[in-house]
Structure 1
Amino acid sequence: GGANVLLPFAFHCSGNSIIESADRNWDARDSPEERSDSKLRGRDDIREFQFPYHWVWYMPPSAVEDLKEYGLGCDWRRSFVTT
């Protein structure tokens, strides 16, 4: 993808939204669902989202996969993240 497209795709990772979501995950870490007997699938993955840097590391590549499946035409070689 991107051979006939000049425009890159940018991801904006706003600090406030990420920090608020990370704080909510931090506050919920001791909820009943987080106990060792929980059947919640992906519990360990969810726990990582209490750290703001994990959002920035995880979300853009995940979004690229989704956008490619959607068929978005852009030059992925030039994509970038802004803060």
Structure 2
Amino acid sequence: MISSFLLPLLLWSIERILKRKQFGWFIVIVTLSLVNNFYFAYYQLLTGLIYFLLELFFVINTIFYQEKVQSNVLSLPHYWH
């Protein structure tokens, strides 16, 4: 029963790692998941890894496109002269 509550908490803890660099809740949730049910922990960690990689991919792309848009906007006055 507790396993169904741990997946959203795991994803939340991954968000905390990405935004605040805090690993405490992640360690606690993974430990609880491993103690509770090994197979569900395996499923959770795979899901968490996919979520982490997708978040990392979208954050990197967002930063890249923001820099590209800013450089293009800043270069617009050169085209007007």
TM-score, structure 2 length as denominator? Answer: 0.32
Decide which structure has the larger Cα Rg and report it. 2
**Which structure ranks higher in relative contact order (CA pairs < 8 Å, sequence separation ≥ 6)?**
1
Choose between structure 1 and 2: higher strand proportion: 1
Q: TM-score with structure 1 length normalisation?
A: 0.31
Higher helix residue share: 2
